[in-house]
Chains A and B, each alone.
Chain A
Amino acid sequence: MTAAEKEVPAPRPMNEGRARIRRLLRSGRVLVGGGIVLVIVICALFAPLLAPQDPNNQDLLAQLLPPAWSADGVPEHPLGTDNLGRDTLSRLIYSTRVAVLVAVTASLGAMLLGTTLALVAGYFGGLIDWLVSRAVELWLSFPPVVLSLILIVGFGVGLGNVILAIILVDWTRFCRVVRSEVLVVRRQDYVDAARLAGFSHFRTLWSEVLPAVGPLVLTLLSLEMGIAVIVEAILSFVGMSVESTVPAWGVMIADARKDMFQSIWGMALPIMAIIITVLGFNLLGDGLRRALDPKLRQREIQ
Chain B
Amino acid sequence: MNGGIFGVIAKRIIVALPIVLLASILVFVVLRLLPADPVAMSVPPNATRDEVEALRRALGLHLPIHEQYWIWLTKIATGTLGNSITYAQPVFRLIGQSLPATIELVVVAAVFATVIGLAGGLVMHRLQGRAGEQAADVASTLIMSVPEFLWAIFFILLFGVALNWLPFSGRLDPGVSVPHTTGFLLLDCLIAGRPGAFVNALEHMLLPALALAFGTAPLLMRVLRSSLMEVAQEDYVTMARLRGLNERQILLRHSFKNAFLPTLTLMGVQFSFLFGGTLLVEVIYGYPGIGNMMVEAVRNTDLPIIQGVALVYAFAVLVINLAVDVLVLLLNPKLRVRR
* Touch between chains A and B, by CB atoms below 8 Å: yes
Chain A residues with CB under 8 Å of chain B are: 29, 134, 137-138, 140-146, 149-156, 226, 230, 233-234, 237-240, 253, 257, 260-261, 264, 267-268, 271, 274-275, 278-279, 282-283, 286, 299
A299 to B232, CA, bound (A): 12
CB distance from B13 to the nearest CB of A (A): 14
Residue of B nearest to A32 (CB): B138
Knowing A142-B317, A146-B276, A150-B27, the reply to whether A264 touches B149 (Cβ < 8 A) is no
A268 to B156, CA, bound (A): 11
Knowing A234-B147, A282-B141, A283-B141, the reply to whether A260 touches B277 (Cβ < 8 A) is no
- B contact face: mostly helix, strand, loop, or mixed: helix
Chain A residues near B295 (CB, 8 Å)? 149, 238
CB distance from A67 to the nearest CB of B (A): 16
> Taking the complex as formed, is B239 at the interface, i.e. its CB lies under 8 A from any CB of chain A?
no
CB distance from B213 to the nearest CB of A (A): 16
Chain B residues near A253 (CB, 8 Å)? 153
Knowing A154-B30, A237-B280, A267-B153, the reply to whether A149 touches B294 (Cβ < 8 A) is yes
CB distance from A97 to the nearest CB of B (A): 20
B317 near A143 with CB under 8 A, answer yes
How many B residues face the partner with a CB closer than 8 A?
49
B157 near A264 with CB under 8 A, answer yes
> Taking the complex as formed, is B40 at the interface, i.e. its CB lies under 8 A from any CB of chain A?
no
CB distance from B230 to the nearest CB of A (A): 9
A146 near B157 with CB under 8 A, answer no
Chain B residues near A138 (CB, 8 Å)? 19, 22-23, 26
A278 to B269, CA, bound (A): 21
Q: Which residues of chain B from 14 to 32 have a CB within 8 Å of any chain A CB?
A: 19-20, 22-23, 26-27, 30-32
A153 near B34 with CB under 8 A, answer yes
A145 to B272, CA, bound (A): 10
Knowing A141-B318, A282-B145, A286-B141, the reply to whether A156 touches B19 (Cβ < 8 A) is no
A154 near B33 with CB under 8 A, answer yes
B298 near A238 with CB under 8 A, answer yes
B309-323 CB mask vs A (1 if < 8 Å, else 0) is 010011001100000
A268 near B157 with CB under 8 A, answer yes
B310 near A146 with CB under 8 A, answer yes
Contact sample, A vs B, 6 pairs, CB 8 Å cutoff: A146-B310, A153-B30, A154-B34, A156-B34, A234-B147, A264-B157
Chain A residues near B36 (CB, 8 Å)? 156
A237 near B141 with CB under 8 A, answer no
A141 near B280 with CB under 8 A, answer no
Chain A residues near B162 (CB, 8 Å)? 264
Chain A residues near B161 (CB, 8 Å)? 260-261, 264
B310 near A142 with CB under 8 A, answer yes
B272 near A143 with CB under 8 A, answer yes
B141 near A143 with CB under 8 A, answer no
A150 to B272, CA, bound (A): 16
A143 near B273 with CB under 8 A, answer yes
> Taking the complex as formed, is B73 at the interface, i.e. its CB lies under 8 A from any CB of chain A?
no
Closest 9 CB pairs of A and B: A143-B276, A145-B276, A154-B30, A279-B145, A278-B145, A154-B33, A230-B147, A156-B35, A141-B23
B279 near A146 with CB under 8 A, answer yes
Residue of A nearest to B273 (CB): A143
> Taking the complex as formed, is B263 at the interface, i.e. its CB lies under 8 A from any CB of chain A?
no
Residue of A nearest to B274 (CB): A143
A192 to B48, CA, bound (A): 70
Knowing A142-B23, A261-B161, A264-B157, the reply to whether A279 touches B141 (Cβ < 8 A) is yes
Knowing A146-B294, A279-B141, A282-B144, the reply to whether A151 touches B279 (Cβ < 8 A) is no
Task: Name the one of B30, B141, B283 contacting A150, with C-beta atoms under 8 angstroms.
Answer: B30
Chain B residues near A134 (CB, 8 Å)? 19
Chain A residues near B273 (CB, 8 Å)? 143-144
A260 near B19 with CB under 8 A, answer no
Knowing A143-B272, A268-B157, the reply to whether A234 touches B33 (Cβ < 8 A) is no
> Taking the complex as formed, is B63 at the interface, i.e. its CB lies under 8 A from any CB of chain A?
no
Residue of B nearest to A168 (CB): B30
Residue of A nearest to B309 (CB): A146
